Amino acid sequence: MKIPLSSSGGPTMASYHSENRCTWCDGCGDYGIWTAVKRALVEMGIPPHSVLLCYDVGCHGNGSDKVQGYRFHGLHGRVLPFAAGAKLANMKLPVMAFGGDGASFSEGIGHLVHSIRSNYPIVFVLHNNGNYGLTTGQASSLTWQGQKMNTSPNGMPEHTLPSMDFVFSLEPTFVARGFSGDIPQMVDILKAALQHRGFAFVDMLQACPTYNHFATHNYLLERCYHVENHDTKDFVKARQLAVDTKEKIATGILYQNEDIPSFYEQLVPRQKIKTTLVDEVKMHDVGGLMKEFV
Ligand code: SF4
């Protein structure tokens, strides 16, 4: 398939266009995030054949064939290990991973912990809609306590996992928060995340009008504000801004530390090596090895 490019040879929004129609519900925040991701890649001049987009299972994951680019749609909660593995094999490739709040803070929470502490050089976009939308409105660990959901008709009995406090407890090197109704800001956040040296955690608060009747689009719209004049190196202030969401919700880049090397940079055998593992594998004839598995 020929990918359309601009007259100067760069990518355009049309370059990322897929003929597959989106199946998300009307008003779903996935539309905004999907648009912002494409726009960020276009504005950075990254064409679809130069990026890997990795999707977890979830409503957002059903967008994996609604966009051009190298894409991988994996098992529930496991998006981070395969995104990190792909990146370590080819450090020249920008890698973005997408996961929902259910998968990321339950089934895949161990992977999130170790991705942050390892500082893998990838972007992780949390589609945070406060429930498992794909499985018709089950409560996730980020659903507000007491909310009536399809699996908890009397109200979710457990307390809500304090996700941002948890993330900060792991000493991240990049934390940002966006809102699915604010595409320009999401684009700015994603461009910064793509240029970050290590693991970029991006919490995208998104509307799920079908099942989330508490943190609705209007609720988020009324409370989200752009954080300004904030020192993104101030860990304590950033954590405070991230956690304090009762009245207002700070959005933007909350914290960034570029002084910590990424996981790859810490690997002694890879230091001063200019080729990628993908380049190096190409130098070997693996035909004989492959025959053993046929
Ligand atoms: Fe979006 Fe919610 Fe519908 Fe899933 S169920 S497509 S998250 S609105």
Q: pLDDT tens across 13-60, in order? A: 999 999 999 999 999 999 999 999 999 999 999 999 999 999 999 999
Question: Which residue puts its alpha carbon closest to atom 2 of ligand 1?
Answer: 208
Residue 96 confidence (pLDDT) = 98
Which of the four pLDDT bands, split at 50, 70 and 90, describes residue 115?
Answer: very high
Q: Which atom of ligand 1 is nearest to the CA of 26?
A: 8
**What pLDDT shows up at residue 79?**
98
Atom 3 of ligand 1: nearest residue by CA position: 25
Domains of the chain: 13-291 (3.40.50.970)
106-113 contacts, C-beta under 8 A, 24 or more apart: 106/77, 106/140, 106/141, 107/76, 107/77, 107/78, 108/56, 108/76, 108/77, 108/78, 108/79, 108/80, 109/77, 111/77, 111/78, 111/79, 111/80, 111/81, 112/80, 112/167, 113/170
**C-alpha 133 – ligand 1 centre gap (Å):** 5
pLDDT at residue 85, rounded to an integer: 97
pLDDT of residue 292: 83
Ligand 1 center–CA 132 separation, angstroms? 9
Tens digit of pLDDT for each residue in 154-199?
A: 999 999 999 999 999 999 999 999 999 999 999 999 999 999 999 9
- pLDDT band at residue 285, thresholds of 50, 70 and 90? confident
pLDDT digits (tens, 9 = 90+) for 60-112: 999 999 999 999 999 999 999 999 999 999 999 999 999 999 999 999 999 99
Q: What is the mean pLDDT of the chain?
A: 96
Ligand 1 site residues, Cβ closer than 6 angstroms? 24-25, 28, 30, 59, 129, 133, 208-211
- The whole-number pLDDT of residue 9 equals 83
Q: How many CB atoms lie within 10 A of CB 211?
A: 22
- pLDDT tens, residue by residue, 234-270: 999 999 999 999 999 999 999 999 999 999 999 999 9
pLDDT band at 284 (very low <50, low <70, confident <90, very high): confident
| Distinct helix (H) and strand (E) counts, the chain | 11, 10
Mean pLDDT of 221-242: 98
Straight-line distance from the first to the last Cα atom of the chain, in angstroms, rounded to the nearest whole number: 30
Query: Which value, to the nearest 10 degrees, does the dihedral of the CA atoms of residues 124, 128, 133, 138 take?
Result: 110
pLDDT score of 173: 98
| 289, pLDDT greater than 90 | no
pLDDT at 277: 93
CA 129 to ligand 1: nearest atom: 7
**Closest approach atom of ligand 1 to CA 25:** 3
Cα–Cα distance, 200 to 192 (Å, whole number): 9
- At residue 294, does pLDDT exceed 80? no
Which atom of ligand 1 is found nearest the CA of 58? 4
